[in-house]
Structure 1
Amino acid sequence: MITVRPLHDPIYLTIAFEQAGETELSDRGFDLKYSREENPTVRLLEKNVALIEEGVDSLAFNSGMAAISTIYLSILRAGDEVVLPMEGYGTTIQLAEELGKFGVRVKLAYPSAEALNEAITENTKLVLTEVVTNPTLKVIDVPEVIKRAKEVGATVVVDNTFSPLVFKPLKVGADGVIHSLTKYIAGHNDVIGGALIWGDLDPENLWHWRRRLGSIIQPFDAWLVIRGLKTLELRFERQSRSAQAIAEFLSEHPKIEKVHYPGLKSDPYHSTASKIFSRHLFGGVLSFLHREGESGAKAFLRRLKRVFPSPSLGGTESLATYPVISAAKSMPEDRRRLLGITPGLIRLSVGVEDTDLLIEDIDRALRGG
C-alpha cells in the first residue's frame, strides 16, 4: 500500500463505499455510501470552487443547467415570482417559463440594474441574474440589483460564468453563485459541469434536491475540472488581455460597424465593469457587428483558419459563434432587435493562442483572403 502523499489526488471511480454495519460520514455530515450522493473527488472539486468564490461550500453538478434546475426546484413554489434578465442564457429562461405549469410566474427585464430593480416587487421570491450578458456583453450593476432584492426579501443567485476571479457576488450580498464549469473554470473544452456556491442558502435542502435529481458530476469529470482550475488564473488573464487587443483592433477595422467589449473605454458598459470588477481584466469574450450583415458574418465564419466556428466559450481554443443560430436562437425576433442581436453579429471567445496570429486570422477572414 502507498502511504506517501501523491502529487495529484486520486479519482474515486466507485459507485459505492463500505458499509460494515454503519455508514461513514462525509466531511459535511452526509452518509458516504453512494457516489450519486457524495464522492471524495467531487468533494475536492466543491471545496476548490467554493474557495474561488469565497463561499461557505458548493455543490458540483453534471451541467450548469442541472445547478440552475436545483435552484429553481429547491426555492420556488406555486405562486412565487422569479425575475430574470431577458438577455440571459436561453435555457435558463425557458426552464423558468416552463415552470409556469406549476404556478411559477416569470418576469423578464432588460439587462440593466434599473430595469431589473423596477421588475422586482414584494411578490418576487428569486432573482437570478447574470453579470455579463451573452452575446452583447452588457454589464449589469449587480450590487445595485442585490440591494433592491434584499429590500423585498428575495433570494439572489448570480450566474458568474463570464466573470470568474474579477467579481465576487457573495461578497456584495448574493445568496448563491452559479457557474457553468464547462467554460472558464474547466477551461479545455473537454468536460461539461456546473456548480452552485452559497453564502446564505440551505445546504441540506440543496444537497437533497441534487440527490433526488441524480445530477451530481461524475468523478472523472470532476477530476478534469480540478485539473483545469490549476491554470484558471493564467488562462483568464491571457484570454482577457488578448481579447482586449483584438477588440481594439476590430474597433478600427473598416469591415466592423461596432464592437461589444467592456474593456474598451468607448464601450457604454466600461464604467460599470470598472466599478464592480476587482481587477482591470474584462474577460475573453467579445462580439462585433459586421458591416455587411448576415452575408458578411457567414462568410467570415467560413474563412477562419485558426479560430474554430463553434459555440461555447472560456476554453483554450478560440471559438467564433453566430448568435442568431446559437445563444439567441430561441429568442423572439423583437427581443433580439431590442438587445442588438442582429444577423451581422458574431461572438468571439478568445483562447490562449498567440494574439498576433489570432488577429492575423481574423483580419484575413474579414478581408476575404
Structure 2
Amino acid sequence: MPEIPAADGQMEHLDEFLRHPEIQAITELLRKNAVLAELIGPQHTTQRFANAENLALAFQGKLDAIDPELVAEDVANAVALAAAIENMRNDMDECTNISEIIGAYEFPDSTLHAIVDANPEFLLDYAVEYAECKGNFDYIFEKLGITEEDLTDLFSRVWVYSRLTNPTNELLEEAVSKMEHTEMSATFGSGLGAINAVIRQFVKPTKVEWFHFDEPGKAPFPVETTKGGKLVIVGSIYGGTTASMKEICEREGIEFFHMPISTFEKEGLPDDTDMVYFETSNNPTLRVVPIPKLVEEAKRVGAVTVCDNTFTPVSVKPADHDVDIVLHSMTKYLGGKSEDLGGVVSGKKDLVARLLDLHEGQRMIGGAVMAPRVAKEFLKNMANLPERLYRSTQNARAVAKIAKTFKDPEGKPLKVRTADSYKAYQYIRDLEMPETLGNGMVSIFLPSVELARSFANKMIERGVGKGAVSLGSTTTYYSIPSETTHSEMDLEEQDRVGITPGLLRISCGSEENLPAEVESILNELLEKPEPALAQ
C-alpha cells in the first residue's frame, strides 16, 4: 500500500494503535477483500448464465446459484492468476520492468492478462508483501485467509445486473458493515445519491387520487389526498444535503423541518416525525449530536433514525447506539485520496434490503449505483484507513492546541472546535477504540471572512494543503463554509446553526509541517499568545 507521510514527533504510538484487535480485524478484512476483488477479475455490468432457462430464473429471483461448471472455470482462472502473481514476484529481482515481467508469462486466458495489465503495481505490491519468495501461490491465500471456498462462494452468487448488486461491491459492503457494526450495507455512486435514496425509500410522499370523467373535455379533479411524511433535521448538516432535501420534499409533498441541537434538547422531536436525520459531528461547526437522547425520542414518535457518519468513521459506531441507518460519503475519509465518488448506506438488514428490492428499491430504480471498478479502488484505499485517521487526528489535535493559544483582534480567545472538544463526543465514541483515534477536522472561528481567506491563502502559498471543499484526504484542505459548502443557506439560517462568516474549516491531512506552519501564520495574523499559554 502507498506510504503515508508521518507527522513529526507524533507517531510514537502508531504501531501500538495499529495492533489494536479491532483495527487489525478491519484492516485484515479489507486487505483480504481487496485481493479477492482482484482475483475474481473484471466485473462486467451483466452476469453470464449457462443457458436461457437459468437467465430467466435468475431474473425472477428463483435461481439459487450459478452453474457449477461455470463456477469451477472461474475459480480455476482465479487460482491460476494467484500462481502467476507469485511467479512474477520471484522474478522481480532479476527484471524491474513490470511490463517485461508480465509479457514473460502466458496466462490461461485473455481475462487474466487483462487484470494484471490493468493494475500490475497493485498485484505486485501484494505479492511482495505476502508471498515472501515462497514459490507457492498457496502462501498468498494462507497469509490473507483466502480459500478456494471463498472464490467458489463469490462466483456462485446470482447477481444478474450491476444495478441490483455485484460481487465486487458486496466485498466492499461486507467491509463497511464490519467497520460500522451493522447487519448489511449498500454502496452508491455518491454520498448524496445514498442520502436521496434513503429519503425517498423511507419517507412517504403526498399522494393524490383523481376522479376522471368519462366525458371528453372535462378536467379530472382530486377526490382524496394522503398527506406526506415529515423529515426532521437536527443540527447543522452539509449545505448540499440541505438543498437536495428541500427540493425532494417540495417535489414529493414531504414536510421539511429543521431543529438546532439546542432546540431539540429542550423540546424533543415533533410527534409526527417520520424520519430524523443528523450528522454525528455537525458540518462545519463540529458540534456533536446527543445520539442516545435522539434515538430515545425517535422511538417515542416511531421515526426512522438516519445518521451521516462521514466525519467520524471507526471512532464512532452509531449502530451501537441503535441508530437505524448509517450513511457515509465514501469520497471523504473512506477513499482518502479525493479520487472517486462514492456513498454507502449501512444498518439493519430489513431496512437496507428494501433499498435493493427489484421493483421498489430506490437503489435499483433510482440507479445511483457504484461501479465495480470504483468499489475495487475503495477496497484498496480503505486498507490504510485506520493509519490515515490516526495521523490526521494527531495533526488536528496539534493544530487545535496551537490555535487556542491565540487571541482575536479584540483580545478575545480564539474559538476553536474539534469533535472531541464537545462533551457529547465522549458519550458516543466507541470506548473500545483507543483515545488516540478521532478525525482530522478543526474549525477555527476567525473574526472575519477576510482573516479566514488570508489564513487559507498563506497556507496554500506555502504549499501546505489546498483550498478545497472536500475532506478526509491525506492532503490538508481549507474551506470557508459561508462562501462554499453552506452558501445555499441564507445568512439567518447560517447564524441559526452557528456558521459565522469567518469560520474556517480545516480537514487536516498528514503533512509533517502542518502544525508548525499554522502557528507561524497565526503569529502573522493575530496577537501572539501569552507567554504563560505558549509554554
TM-score by length of 2: 0.63
With 301-310 and 24-33 compared, the bigger mean Cα shift is at 24-33
Correspondence for 1:364: 520
Distance in 2 (CA, whole Å) between partners of 1:80 and 1:101 is 13
More displaced stretch, 176-185 vs 16-25 = 16-25
Q: Which one is further off, 18-27 or 250-259? A: 18-27
Tell me, yes or no, if the aligned pair for 1:210 and 1:216 is still in contact at 8 Å: yes
CA distance in 2, matches of 1:226, 1:25: 27
Residue in 2 that maps onto 1:301: 456
Alignment of 1:92 with 2:233, yes or no, is no
Mapped to 2, the partners of 1:103 and 1:116 lie a distance apart of: 27
Q: 1:200 Cα shift? A: 5.3
- Give the aligned CA root-mean-square deviation in angstroms: 2.3
Which of 172, 177, 180 in structure 2 is aligned with 1:50?
A: 177
Higher mean alpha-carbon deviation, 329-338 vs 194-203, is at: 194-203
CA distance in 1, matches of 2:266, 2:275: 12
Residue identity in the other structure for 2:172: L
- Give per-residue Cα distances to partners, 1:314-356, cap 9 Å, x unaligned: 11111111111122211120122233322211100011221xx
Q: Does 1:63 align with 2:213?
A: no
Counterpart of 1:225 in structure 2 is 378
* 1:189 partner SS: coil
Match of 1:342 among 495, 500, 514: 500
Structure with the greater alpha carbon radius of gyration = 2
> Structure 2 counterpart of 1:47, which letter?
E
Q: Matches of 2:495 and 2:354 in 1, distance apart?
A: 40
Instruction: Identify if the C-alpha distance between structure 1 residues 41 and 196 changes in structure 2 by more than 3 Å, giving closer, same or farther.
Output: same
> Which region of structure 1 is more displaced relative to structure 2, 199-208 or 96-105?
199-208
SS at match of 1:92: helix
Change (3 A) 1:201 1:94: farther
Identical amino acids, percent of aligned pairs: 27
Look up the match of 1:275: 427
1:9 to 33, 37, 47: 37
| Among 155, 162, 170, the residue aligned to 1:35 | 162
How far does the alpha carbon of each residue in 1:164-218 deviate from its partner, in whole angstroms, 9 at most, with x for none?
1121111211111101111111111111100000115434421122111111101
Q: Which of 126, 133, 143 does residue 275 from structure 2 map onto? A: 126
Q: Is the 8 A contact 1:310 1:320 kept in 2?
A: yes
- Alignment partner for residue 324 of structure 1, among 482, 490, 510? 482
Q: 2:246 & 2:425 partners in 1: Cα distance?
A: 29
Aligned equivalent of 2:335: 186
Q: Is residue 109 of structure 1 aligned with residue 265 of structure 2?
A: no
Q: Are residue 314 (structure 1) and residue 344 (structure 2) matched?
A: no
CA deviation after TM superposition for structure 1 residue 146, in Å: 0.5
Task: Judge which range, 33-42 or 171-180, deviates more.
Answer: 33-42
Alignment of 1:194-273 (within 5 A): 194-199=343-348, 201-207=350-356, 208-254=361-407, 257-264=414-421, 269=422, 271-273=423-425
Contact 2:475-2:508 at 8 Å conserved across structures: yes
TM-score (norm 1): 0.90
Given the superposition, is the C-alpha separation of residues 35 and 85 from structure 1 closer, same or farther in structure 2, using an over 3 Å criterion?
A: same
- 1:101 is displaced (CA, Å) by 3.0
Decide whether the 8 Å contact of 1:240 with 1:284 is kept in 2: yes
For residues 98-127 of structure 1, the C-alpha deviation after alignment (integer angstroms, 9 at most, x for no partner) is: 222322001100034x51673523311111
What is the SS of the residue equivalent to 1:12?
Answer: coil
- Please report how far the alpha carbon of residue 277 of structure 1 lies from its aligned counterpart in structure 2 after TM superposition: 0.9
SS of corresponding position for 2:414: strand
- Identify which range, 23-32 or 303-312, moves more after superposition: 23-32
- 1: distance between equivalents of 2:163 and 2:497? 40
Partner amino acid for 1:238?
R
1:62, distance to aligned residue in structure 2 (A): 0.6
Q: In 2, are the aligned partners of 1:288 and 1:346 still within 8 Å (CA)?
A: yes
Structure 2 spans left out of the alignment, 5+ residues = 1-32, 66-152, 207-227, 526-535
Could you tell me how far apart the structure 2 residues matched to 1:197 and 1:155 are? 13
**Could you tell me how far 1:230 is from its partner in structure 2?**
0.8
Cα deviation per residue 1:140-160 (whole Å; 9 max; x = unaligned)? 111110011001111111111
User: Where does 1:127-142 land on structure 2 (aligned, <5 Å)?
Assistant: 127-142=276-291
More helix by share: 2
- Secondary structure of the residue that 2:504 maps to in structure 1? strand
Confirm whether residue 290 of structure 1 aligns to residue 446 of structure 2. Answer: yes
Q: Which amino acid aligns with 1:107?
A: F
1:83 maps to which of 212, 229, 232: 232
Unaligned runs of 5+ in 1: none
1:308 partner letter: K
Q: Does the Cα contact within 8 Å between 1:12 and 1:39 map onto a contact in 2?
A: no
Number of corresponding residues: 356
Query: Aligned letter for 2:48?
Result: E
Counterpart amino acid of residue 240 in structure 1: T
Match of 1:202, SS state, is helix
Aligned pair in 2 of structure 1 residues 116, 89: CA closer, same or farther (>3 Å)?
Answer: farther
Query: Is the contact between residue 12 and residue 40 of structure 1 (CA under 8 Å) also seen in structure 2?
Result: no
Whether the 8 Å contact between 1:109 and 1:116 is mirrored in structure 2 is no
* 1:147 aligned partner: 296
**1:299 is matched by which residue type in structure 2?**
S
Deviations 1:198-249 (A, max 9, x none): 1154344211221111111011111111112211111112211211111001
